[in-house]
Amino acid sequence: MRFQNTLGLLALLSSRVAIASPSPSPPLLQQQQQKPLRPTSDGDDENDTPLPLLIWHGLGDSFSAPGIRSVGELAEEVNPGTLVYYVRIGEDANSDRSATWFGNVTQQMEKVCEEINAHPILSTAPALDALGFSQGGQFLRGLGQMCEGVQLRSLLTFGSQHNGITEFKACGGTDWLCKSAMALLHGSTWSSWVQGRLVPAQYFRDPATEETYENYLEYSNFLADINNEREEKNAEYKKKIGGMSNFVMYMFEEDTVAIPKETSWFEEVNGTESVPLRARKLYTEDWLGLRELDRKGGVKFRKAKGDHMQLDDELLREAFGEFFGPMGKKFAVEDGEETIDEL
């Protein structure tokens, strides 16, 4: 089975236009208490029930798409008894797909957070595993950082734009949602109207010049906040990421949609210069807890063959077996020399 996301390609922004009114992003939930990872039941460390799994689809897809559902079925097959929760913003497939293009990402996360905390199983689980495709990956990471009551254990992302995108690619000829979104982007990427309504604009990040980066820091509605790049840092974001067991980032070797493709590994790319995550201030000063997580072997960089969102069962099956499962599961450190217990 080939899993092909129905992601529409984004239109190249030919120019940067004048900035309109600012739209600073208010954090979703400030100073929340971290939900500790704990045994699945009191005194029962041998419980073999897998942790629930959140799946968040990508741009142009929906929670009910056959490809997404087949991935959930595979996760249940690899770890029998897994409760799979398909994140949705819209109530049906059409409205959910539209919400991948249009909406305020912070408000969308508030909705997902409320639904998880109201769910009788998800809200009482000791932790949650998570699987994000394309933009769904950085949204799940943001959810894990922002949402009180949610602690992620293993987060797997495929082709996600953790360090943002620097270009918008061309839409398909009949993809009218994409065409409508791109028409808005030609107005002003940094206007409060666009930043509050157009989803891809909320993870656009251009470090080409000091001016373009400062615009991003001042006006970004989503990414600058969840990456803790502004001067005032959110300490809870660091706690939540540092409290995970695994953050596994898959980069597609031939990715032509996520630009630059190295954003999937949290790299900083500026022209021909590329700075890997471990050499960035975001890591060395540990703005997000990634350095803390890396010290216990939890940060992992993986590659997937092919273009954006071209996946097969073999790779997914291996990943699900390695990183998902019961609360008491032990994980190999990246160098394979030792294993670490769950927190």
Spatial distance between the Cα atoms of 265 and 299, rounded to a whole number of angstroms: 10
| Residue of 134, 160, 188, 245 marked catalytic | 134
The helix (H) or strand (E) run that includes residue 104 is none
Residue 134 designated active-site:
yes
| Residue of 61, 175, 188, 308 marked catalytic | 308
**Per this entry, what is the length of the chain?**
343
Cβ atoms of 26 and 226 within 8 Å: the answer is no
Q: Which amino acid is at 3?
A: F
Query: What 3-state DSSP class applies to 273?
Result: strand
For 294, residues 6+ apart whose C-beta sits below 8 A from its C-beta are: 278, 283
Residue with tokens 């906040």: 225
Beta bridge partners of 340: 331
Spatial distance between the Cα atoms of 109 and 225, rounded to a whole number of angstroms: 13
Cα–Cα distances in angstroms (integers) from residue 15 to residues 12, 171, 266, 272, in the given order: 9, 17, 25, 20
| Residue of 61, 129, 225, 255 marked catalytic | 255
Whose CA is closest to 133, among 69, 186, 38, 206? 69
Spatial distance between the Cα atoms of 113 and 107, rounded to a whole number of angstroms: 10
Which residues have a catalytic role annotated?
A: 134, 255, 308
